[in-house]
Amino acid sequence: MQNRKKTDQTISQTDLMKITDIQFGMLRVPLKTPFKTALRTVDRVEDIIVMVHTDCGHIGYGEAPATAVITGDTHGSIVDAIRHYISPRVIGQDIANLNRITQLIQGSMEKNSSAKAAVEIAVYDLWGQLYQAPLYKLLGGGDPVITTDITISVDYIDKMVADSISAVDRGFESLKIKVGKDIGVDIERVKAIYAAVEDRALLRLDANQGWTAKQAVYALQTLEDAGVKLELVEQPVKARDLEGMRYVTERVHTPVMADESVFGPMEVIELIRLRAADIINIKLMKTGGISNAVRIADIAGMHGIECMIGCMLESSISVAAAVHLAVAKADVITKVDLDGPSLCQYNPVDGGVNFNESEISVSDAPGLGIREIRGLEKI
Ligand code: MG
């Protein structure tokens, strides 16, 4: 029987682990509170789960959300891209040839970064299973415990202050404050939150492209003059406006981080060349998976630029992959924004990464260590 499960002990390194099929599921998990940014409001995680089957019974798991306003990927486009463009190229490939497979995935079509990410994550999961090691060890090792911030959605000032205090009480030491709606109110929002949590948490602002370059400089200089200390400001201006990013970076003391402006390694090189930002936010759904995320971390490291690892509204499958990468590249990835699982009402995944509020720890289970996904709907 093809799906017969071999025990881990029976796979030796000379065994082949060939990809035989890719199947899909839909995972829906309600959020504790609606996720609101300058671009959108979302009240649940609703992600495509990818299961890459192999001839020895091992299954690799991947995940991708629809993030139409950021990456352009929708549920339909993710499934179609994998079914008709990626799957035909990777079926029959041997997991041991990881670099060949990631090239086949990346070269399958233009864009569609989330679809590519979902399959790459599953392939890296299998790569870890093949060599019976947790993914972070194969990526270079590291201390398997990291600390994440949590997102405070954009809302009425009183609500944002209450959410911030509650997050600090739950042990979060970094808050990612969503702004970018109305510049005057944004300044008041940040002042109020800073006054409420001042010595107890670092504040990261995420404007999600909501300001013009001049508004961003005005807002940040006003906050700086008022004595508000910010760890960083993220994507103050439109994604394509690299000149605007540079304009802001040159004029404020607060470090500027690029998120929607940079997807892959080529864009990172351009951003560094232009000196358009101080920090880069790596997300697997933008890079198309782990292979390019590793490249970005290495490029940034060579230039002495720090990175954040972030996620979209994702559950603990694709976020687990990001955690493994963050552990292995901790020298460069110094900031962690992997709060997807802690925004969910429950964790549907029984796996090798443990999400406990701000503390994320990784077990030594092979690959991503995923044992069970509850409530997965067949599609
Ligand atoms: Mg962002």
Residue 6 has pLDDT above 60, yes or no: no
Whole-prediction pTM: 0.95
Q: How far apart are CA 293 and CA 106, in angstroms?
A: 12
Residue 4 has pLDDT above 50, yes or no: no
The correct answer on CATH 2.60.120.10 for the domain covering 137-378 is no
Beta-bridge mates of residue 41: 36
* Residue labelled with tokens 């030594």: 364
Model pLDDT for residues 295-326, shown as the tens digit of each residue: 999 999 999 999 999 999 999 999 999 999 99
Instruction: Kindly give the distance from the C-alpha atom of residue 262 to the centroid of ligand 1, in angstroms, as a whole number.
Output: 11
Q: Catalytic residue, from 283, 286, 329, 335: name it.
A: 283
Model pLDDT for residues 109-155, shown as the tens digit of each residue: 999 999 999 999 999 999 999 999 999 999 999 999 999 999 999 99
Answer yes or no: 159 catalytic.
no
Write the burial class of residue 196 (CB in 10 Å: 0-12 exposed, 13-18 middle, 19+ buried).
Answer: middle
Instruction: Kindly give the distance from the C-alpha atom of residue 232 to the centroid of ligand 1, in angstroms, as a whole number.
Output: 11
Write the burial class of residue 110 (CB in 10 Å: 0-12 exposed, 13-18 middle, 19+ buried).
Answer: exposed
Question: Where are the alpha helices (H) located in the chain, listed in sequence order?
Answer: 75-81, 87-90, 98-106, 113-130, 135-138, 157-169, 183-197, 213-225, 242-251, 265-274, 284-287, 290-302, 318-328, 340-343
Q: Catalytic residue, from 36, 176, 178, 286: name it.
A: 178
Mean pLDDT of the chain: 95
Q: How far apart are CA 126 and CA 116, in angstroms?
A: 16
Residue 373 phi/psi, 5-degree rounding, is -120, 115
Answer yes or no: 32 catalytic.
no
Instruction: Kindly give the distance from the C-alpha atom of residue 335 to the centroid of ligand 1, in angstroms, as a whole number.
Output: 13
Residues 6+ positions from 56 with CB-CB distance below 8 Å: 6, 11, 15, 16, 17
CATH homologous superfamily, domain 2-132 = Enolase-like, N-terminal domain (3.30.390.10)
Instruction: Kindly give the distance from the C-alpha atom of residue 265 to the centroid of ligand 1, in angstroms, as a whole number.
Output: 18
142 near 328, Cβ under 8 Å? yes
Instruction: Kindly give the distance from the C-alpha atom of residue 60 to the centroid of ligand 1, in angstroms, as a whole number.
Output: 28
- For residue 12, the one-letter residue type is S
Instruction: Kindly give the distance from the C-alpha atom of residue 301 to the centroid of ligand 1, in angstroms, as a whole number.
Output: 21
Write down the domain spans for the chain: 2-132, 137-378
Chain centroid, CA 148 distance in Å: 12
